[in-house]
Structure 1
Amino acid sequence: MTEESAPIDDDKLEKKKKHDAESAADLEKVTDFAEEKEISGTDLASVLVNIEEKKKAEIMKIKEKERELAKVSIKKEDVELIIKELEVTKQVAERTLRENGGNLVAALTTLVHS
């Protein structure tokens, strides 16, 4: 009886091994494999320098925009009207007027739609 059951067990064992091998191969196909790369100190330093330069450029751009907005003349009456009618702060009223070139109607329209 043991001799008859041995060939059956060998067949099952071979099928299981074959199935396991196929499963492992399928798993290798779907796994995303990326090799780890060592980053050198100079590469890292250059990346950090680039980031700092971009930040400085953005800050300069914002400062330049603020300077341009500060040059725009606005009327005190327009600021007061916006504050009274739309119940916004003085800073919001002034900023919106400056962004719209001092045009009261455009500033009101912008604030109503925002």
Structure 2
Amino acid sequence: MAEADSDLDLENDEAEWPAEKPRKYDSGAADLERVTNYAEEKEILSSDLETAMSIIGDRRSREQKAKQEREKELAKVIIKKEDVKLIMNEMEISRTAAEHSLREHLGNVVEALIALTD
């Protein structure tokens, strides 16, 4: 009778454990999901990059246009040759830098010199 009880115990133990499924193809779906997610993220990042680049390009073109307009306005300012020579000699800078400083300060030599010393 002891043998019969031990046989029953073995049979009960086997009944509690489910049969193992082959795990050969289980990871394939997870791998495919990871690859798909990676591709989608890369696609999103590239579209974000394109959008950012176009925004930066637009901003640069606007800044360039504003700079050109500012230069046109400054070119209209009348400056004296003596003032340009004075600033060139005192500050030891090029003619274009001296002219630019004078034009920015509407021909006022004192303001141009002060701005150059700051």
Task: Tell me whether the two structures share a fold, i.e. TM-score over 0.5.
Answer: yes
Which residue of 2 is the match for residue 66 of structure 1?
71
The aligned residue for residue 97 of structure 2 is 92
Alignment partners' CA distance in 1, 2:81 and 2:74? 16
Q: Given residue 95 of structure 1, which amino acid in structure 2 is its aligned partner?
A: H
Aligned residue for 2:106, secondary structure, equals coil
Name the CA shift for 1:110/1:47 in 2 (closer, same or farther; >3 Å).
Answer: closer
Indicate the percent of aligned positions where both proteins have the same amino acid: 42
2-structure distance, mates of 1:100, 1:67:
15
Letter paired with 1:47: A
Post-superposition CA distance 1:43-66 (Å, at most 9, x none): 433222212111111111111111
**Paired residue for 2:23?**
none
Q: CA deviation at 1:104?
A: 1.0
Return the alpha-carbon distance in structure 2 between the equivalents of residues 47 and 81 of structure 1: 47
How far 1:91 moved relative to its partner? 1.1
Where do residues 1-114 of structure 1 align in structure 2 (5 Å cutoff)?
38=41, 39-40=43-44, 41-111=46-116, 113-114=117-118
Alpha-carbon shift at residue 71 of structure 1 (Å): 1.1
Unaligned runs of 5+ in 2: 1-37
The one-letter code of the counterpart of 2:101 is T
CA separation in 2, counterparts of 1:57 and 1:74?
Answer: 29
Count of paired positions? 78
Gaps of 5+ in 1: 1-35
Q: Distance in 2 between the 1:56 and 1:93 partners?
A: 27
Whose Rg is larger?
2
Give the Cα separation in 1 of the matches to 2:93 and 2:52. Answer: 43
